[in-house]
Amino acid sequence: MSKTALLFAGQGAQVIGMGKDLAEKFPSAKAWFDRANTALGYDLAKICFEGPEAELTKTENAQPGIFLVSWVCFQLLKEQNPNLKFAATAGLSLGEFTALTAAGAMSFEDGLRVVRQRGKFMQEACDATKGGMAAIIGLDENLTREVCAEAGVVLANLNCPGQLVISGAAEKISLACELAKGRGAKRALPLAVAGAYHSPLMASAQPKLGAELAKVNLISPVVPVISNVTAQAHGSPTEISAKLVEQVCASVRWEESMRALLAQGFTRFIELGPGTALSGFMKRIDKTATMLNVADAASLEATVKALA
């Protein structure tokens, strides 16, 4: 019997039009978008469906937007496949909130609102600091850590073999990219992001997020949810809250998280939300794992068929 884990998209996956065909085709999806607009008090659905790009990429819109579309994908998959069974969830950075909500640790409204605030606090931290990030392709972790130490930046995302992301002050990122190329990186590409996510430059967002989480009724998830910070299952509600605050500045240990699930006998993974970045990472981590995804009506249909 193959064990299934659900994986939820992170920031950067946003794209204009995300969720639009789902809302048009499925009344239940439209109802979730309407419910989100009511909870937030503004038209997030319109920003997801129509943009403009500048609005959608704002951290305070991108984060709840991806959360919402990923949630709708999850709900439609359950609706189309009432026998869906999953034994764990995980999400990349912001996706960890969706993963926790899908596992029943918080309500949809609470999850959506806290993610909107998280985006706002992280945007404020970006505006107050001059930070950047870069993808380091084809350099191993130890050499990348040496580069980080030399340049004064940090390792932000350990996504999959050969794909790491560094984060820190903008001028130090340029230096780190040069150093990485010198050490043999195939590519060192600065990313189009608002600031230095998952680095100490985000520290000002942590107490504010902690205060928001204190207002949320967190309960123990019904299935294990993998923490980005530890690459292990979350503990008690108090620990969940602490880890979500820590996660803002900590490295995202994605490859390690996926290897932990693979070691526990998970063979099938369903990526929920816009894009297929997590499916791409899994191909580099373990080619034998079955990857399905739900991002729109076509991929929903294909996944329902594959699960039948």
- List active site positions: 93, 198
Q: How far is CA 277 from CA 184, 238, 283, 293, 295, in A?
A: 24, 30, 10, 10, 11
> Strands 3-8 and 266-272: what pairing?
parallel
203, HSE (Cβ side, Cα atoms, 13 Å): 3
Alpha helices in the chain (DSSP H): 20-25, 27-40, 44-50, 53-56, 59-80, 95-102, 108-128, 141-151, 170-182, 205-213, 237-247, 254-263, 277-285, 297-307
Nearest-angstrom CA–CA distance, 258 and 37: 33
Residue among 56, 65, 122, 55 nearest 98 (CA): 65
Q: Which helix H or strand E contains 87, and what residues bound it? A: none
Q: What are the Cα distances from residue 270, in Å, to 3, 4, 86, 160, 295?
A: 11, 7, 9, 17, 11
Secondary structure class of 86 (helix, strand, coil): coil
Residue with tokens 């107050």: 128
